[in-house]
Structure 1
Amino acid sequence: MIGLGRWLKTTALCLALTLSFQSFAQNEQSYSIGDKVEPFSLPNAYGQMINAFDNDSKGYIIVFTNQQCSYVNLYESRIQALDTKYREMGYPLIAIEAEIESFELSTSALPDYIKKNAITYDYLIDMDNSISKSFQVQSSPQALILVRTTDGLRLIYSGSIDNNSRRPASVTRKYIEEAMDDILANRTLRQPQTKSIGCHITY
């Protein structure tokens, strides 16, 4: 099986012409699997601007979420479990609140939401949905995995967390964990993209 590093290099070469014409402005980006992801900053639940990738992590698990979404509520414990499991391996989780009603509402409600759910990961707010759009997020929750390479972070997974939102005990495919198993074993991802199921995001 082709190694992950070789696959990323091959994908990067194939996408070189496309990447050369992309704007560096956040709201003009449109990422696909294999693309290099540019740094961005967003406010957190306490109104502080945070550089999303300001450490030396091997990569990140990003979950686009919305505290008002019933599907997100079903995944709260599973999202926290992903951060607990993979943070110590160098892949911390970042939640990004998408399709917010207002920044003031989010920053007033989110601190209590974070405390209530014992959230340990960074929780950022995509005020104008520019980041959500750049990753072509269709619903919440939708998960991404970014891996750090020699030339920066690259998007290598986008889609669902697993295949059963309502019944955790009936899950037969844990897409994020499968992808992380492949990454940690330096294998090409068996399924780099899945369809996200949840609350539809309207742009």
Structure 2
Amino acid sequence: MIKCSTTAILLAAGIATSAAALEIGNEIVATHVKMQSIDDATLTLSELKGGKGTLVVFSSSRCPVVLSWQKTMVDIGNTYSKKGIGVIFINSNDPDAKGDTFENMKKMAREEGYQFPFLADSSSEVARSFGATKTPEVFLFDADDKLVYKGAVGEGGRSVGDEIWLKDALDALLAGEEIKKPVTKSIGCGIDFRP
């Protein structure tokens, strides 16, 4: 009788698996994976890293939680990309599973005024390498490419009084201060990994 590992069985069944999630202090990964941006350029994380840090946001053009955070995320992206932070939004969803198409990505970026790259992770390899499982889910790296914050954009997201943990982390990073909440729980839509 042939014995198969659980991983082999899951892979044979076409079920996507992720690597273990990056932990605080880990280096950025998947930096040379080529992804198509909404302006039709082919880019990698290594080309988009910022001099003072890098923010990677796993996003979507359809997830209701992403949409509820959209204004805040775009404001953060547009603001901090001008302060030396490389800001990259990535869509790792299978468009056949959720209709999260490249055209929808372009439309969202145009309508919301993105001033930073929005990339399609065509194999979901980048999300798998990060251990990302939800949208939105954020990973903030310092100038030495070490993870200093991961998790949610903030608490709640629908009212003015909500705490924006990502903004607090970015401000602390730029000021050379300790990030008070380096890990928060990401709540959102599960990523539909591409086969």
TM-score between both structures, scaled by the size of structure 2: 0.78
Summarize deviations over 1:147-180 as a string: whole Å, max 9, x none: 122xxx1111110011013x23130x21111112
Gaps of 5+ in 2: 1-17
Of the three residues 11, 22, 41, the one matched with 1:31 is 22
Deviation (angstroms), 1:52: 2.2
Between the aligned residues of both structures, percent identity stands at 19
Residue aligning to 1:49: 42
Gaps of 5+ in 1: 1-26
Q: Secondary structure at the match of 2:138?
A: strand
Residue aligning to 1:187: 177
Q: Distance in 1 between matches of 2:164 and 2:64?
A: 20
Is the 8 Å Cα contact of residues 64 and 140 (structure 1) preserved in structure 2?
yes
Residues 1:141 and 2:136 aligned together: yes
Residues 1:114 and 2:105 aligned together: no
Deviation (angstroms), 1:125: 0.8
Residue aligning to 1:127: 122
Which ranges of 4 or more aligned residues in structure 1 deviate by more than 3 Å? Answer: 27-30
Summarize deviations over 1:7-63 as a string: whole Å, max 9, x none: xxxxxxxxxxxxxxxxxxxx9785321111242331112443112232552211111
Q: Distance in 2 between matches of 1:159 and 1:80?
A: 17
The count of residues paired between Structure 1 and Structure 2 equals 172
Deviation (angstroms), 1:202: 4.4
Residues 1:159 and 2:154 aligned together: no
Q: Secondary structure at the match of 1:131?
A: helix
Please, what is the CA RMSD of the aligned residues? 2.4
Q: Secondary structure at the match of 1:184?
A: helix
Note the 1:9-20 alignment, pairs <5 A: none
Is the 8 Å Cα contact of residues 61 and 104 (structure 2) preserved in structure 1?
no
Q: Secondary structure at the match of 2:65?
A: helix
